[in-house]
A and B are shown apart, each in its own frame.
Chain A
Amino acid sequence: MIFKLIQLQWKAFFRTGSLGGSMITKALTWLGMVYFIFITTVLGLLSYKLLTEDFPVENPLLFINKQLIYVFAYWIVIRYFTQKPPVLNIRALLITPVSKIQIVRYALSKSVFSFFNVIALFYLIPFSLLLLKSGNYEPYGLLSWNLAVLGFVYITHYLNILINSNNKAFYLIAAGLVLIKGLEYFEIFDFTIYSQALFYSFYETPLLALLPWIMLVFLYNRVFSFFKKGLYIDTGLEVKVKEATFQDYSWLNRFGKLSTFLKNDLRLIVRSKRARGTVVAGVFFLFYGFIFLFQEETFGSFMTFFAYMFSSGGFLFMFGGMVPSWDSQYYPLMMCQNIHYNEYLKSKWSLVVLATIASTLIASALYSFQGIEALCAVIAGGLYNIGVNGYLTLWAGAYTKSPIDLNSSKNPFGDKKAVNMKTLLITIPQIVLPVFVYFLGSYYFNNLIGCAMVGLIGVLGLGLKDVVFQQIVKTYKSEKYSTLNAYKQNS
């Protein structure tokens, strides 16, 4: 029976609309995985060396244990944003002779070997082997410590599934994490001591390693019964209907013909969880520059420039990157309405440009205290985003063709993830070029000239608007039929 379910998954993957794109994305995801496995293994080997030679601590295991509580806390956050909860086409299975227990068990167990779980081993094993080799540690203690840590990895795994499907659990855990972070930040409470004591006890008393696994069984049952209870079309699988509120947005009328579309896109962002998530992710870009703050020596000025440029491009890359897929569910309507392709695309472009101008203004306020160079970098990046990247994103959109299911967060089994690999990929050519131009400018002249050069390209791009749009419209027109066809295959 389980085999049949696996078959279904297999077919679902290979029969989706734009398989080509999905294959490339898959291949890149695999490459990414190999990369992370490599990094993690190196980290496992290196952390031992670091803790014994470069920054020697008395007991490397104790030191690692201190940090573990934060590792797991961040692990949950990372999982929440990147790991998809199990997806199964449930409704059709409900009345087949597959027992509900089997359906849920399959949905929950197919992710056991998920990358997010397995990768922990690539750190744990090399690190533990080195500890063992040093001869200072008990093999049984290390084994039980490993098992306990693995148990916690799986606890975060099922916690993630739970918070992904249950808002109450989400708020509870989010509040918990914020509390931990807050207490640590204001130095009210030092968790590292407890973390160290807790995890070290698994080493000292091997039997205690059973505890996390007992907790895991408990948690699994909790998630299991939650999902099983949800297997009715009027409970967990129910389409939750939110009460609608009429939004007029008449203040947008000042934008003339554009306002018609602006209103709709605004409603889309407010009312579709998927779109909302994407925009929120875009807002976080504003703070990207802070990562590189005060670190110019380490990263070099062109990396810092990259960060400043990125900070104004959140909406452009995240939301703009998925134009016209946002309209995929009603693309035929758009293609039949009393608007020409040119106007439709210009309205999308204007939305992206308006948001980018706003982001540039906010970012320049945020980073202005960093001095004139930072301010220039933000503005130059913003100009480039408006004058070049705006077109590029729109143009790439003609080829994207993956439909977006706007109502996707309907049930616990639905796909909720807003960040997609492809949209991140397109950003590479959009970023490498300006950073390179900046690098040339700052290398041969100075940083300000570098900024000016990038900004100038942006201004030139703006000047070419009509010519570029002709080209974009042409591309969209020639791709129209295959786009319509690809959008037909929803989800």
Chain B
Amino acid sequence: MISFKNILKQYSKQTVLDIDSLDIPVGQTFGLVGNNGAGKTTLFSALLDLIKPSKGKVTNNGVDVSQSEDWKSFTTAFLDETFLIGYLMPEEYFYFIGDLRGLNKKEVDIFLSQFEDFFHGEILGGKKYLRDLSKGNQKKAGVIAALIGEPKVVILDEPFANLDPTTQIRLKAIVKDLSENKDVTVLVSSHDIQDVTEVCERIVLLEKGRVIKDLITSPQTLKELESYFKGE
């Protein structure tokens, strides 16, 4: 279980995150929505110990992330291009991540083979370094790298943005597949409420760092979110 307890993050006087209590049980596919500046990326960054909350405690499967580094062995993430190593070729990057997660080259190759459709011939076997790939292709490589090594917690920030329609549909299928596995907790954020309602079992709406809505996805969820964002 992932839990945020009394989390407060302030920059000078501005509050960017203010969460009393938020628990995400094991196996849940969790969606985060909200406008720009709602605190989605901040929340993920706090969970990954990339920023230190001004107050409160974040635990990831019992590990206090600011005290111990043990969460690193079962958690993966792709937040943005700072999770890519620009001077590597996609294959080298996958092998590197695999190496860190205890997979050898062959195992990584087998793992990658299931995503041939998703890569659409644009990632593997090319003659480009990651830094020279388009934004969309970079994202494809980053998201798949975050799935290497059977992580228990997968964090994806805006995975559907910048992707072409075909890839979006395929990525949704991949995330849905992941959510079938009841050992894997998936955290996804998005600006597109339709995308999240499609793939997530639970959706939390953030505004100015606060939890405004916490919904279990149902046929009414999309309507409810829409009316909120329309300002009704």
Contact = CB atoms under 8 A, between A and B. Distances in A.
Given A239-B132, A336-B76, A336-B83, A246 B51 contact: no
Interface in B150-199: none
A242 B87 CA distance: 11
Contact of A243 (B52, B85, B86, B127): B127
Interface stretch (A53-61, A144-152, A265-273): A265-273
A142 interface: no
A338 B98 CA distance: 10
A478 to B, nearest CB: 10
A448 B228 CA distance: 80
A487 B81 CA distance: 13
Contact of B49 (A247, A333, A335, A340): A335
Contacts, number: 88
Interface string A243-254: 111110000000
Given A338-B73, A484-B51, A244 B89 contact: yes
Given A267-B88, A407-B86, A341 B75 contact: no
A330 B85 contact: yes
Contacts of B75: 336
Interface string A269-291: 00110000000000000000000
A349 to B, nearest CB: 18
B100 A336 contact: no
Contacts of B51: 481, 484-485
A339 interface: yes
A422 interface: no
Nearest to A239: B132
Given A481-B51, A484-B51, A337 B97 contact: yes
Nearest to B99: A260
Contacts of B50: 332, 335-336, 481, 484
B91 interface: yes
Interface string A315-343: 00000000000000111110111111100
A277 to B, nearest CB: 14
A266 B4 CA distance: 40
Contacts of A337: 72, 97, 100
Nearest to B149: A338
B84 interface: yes
B82 A340 contact: no
B229 to A, nearest CB: 28
Interface string B115-156: 000000000001111011000000000000000010000000
Interface residues of A, number: 34
Contacts of A16: none
Nearest to A243: B127
Interface residues on B, range: 35 or more
Contacts of B52: 481
A225 B51 CA distance: 47
A406 interface: yes
Interface string A218-256: 000000000000000000000101111111000000000
Nearest to A250: B105
Interface in B5-24: none
A333 B89 contact: no
A264 interface: yes
B91 A336 contact: no
A239 B129 CA distance: 13
Contacts of B99: 260
Interface string B82-112: 1111111101100011011110000000000
Contacts of A268: 87
B82 A244 contact: no
A330 B83 contact: yes
Contacts of B97: 337
Contacts of B32: none
Nearest to B97: A337
B69 interface: yes
B152 to A, nearest CB: 12
Contacts of B38: none
Contact of A244 (B84, B128, B149): B128
Nearest to A264: B96
Interface of B: 48-52, 69, 72-73, 75-77, 79-80, 82-89, 91-92, 96-97, 99-102, 126-129, 131-132, 149
**Which 9 interchain pairs have the tightest Cβ spacing?**
A333-B83, A271-B87, A260-B99, A332-B82, A241-B132, A243-B127, A338-B100, A244-B129, A330-B85
Given A264-B96, A333-B85, 17 more contacts: A242-B129, A246-B92, A260-B100, A263-B92, A264-B88, A271-B129, A330-B86, A332-B50, A332-B80, A333-B83, A335-B50, A336-B72, A337-B100, A338-B149, A339-B100, A406-B131, A484-B50
Interface of A: 239, 241-247, 260, 263-264, 267-268, 271-272, 329-333, 335-341, 406-407, 481, 484-485, 487-488
7 contacts: A239-B132, A244-B126, A268-B87, A331-B82, A335-B50, A336-B76, A339-B100
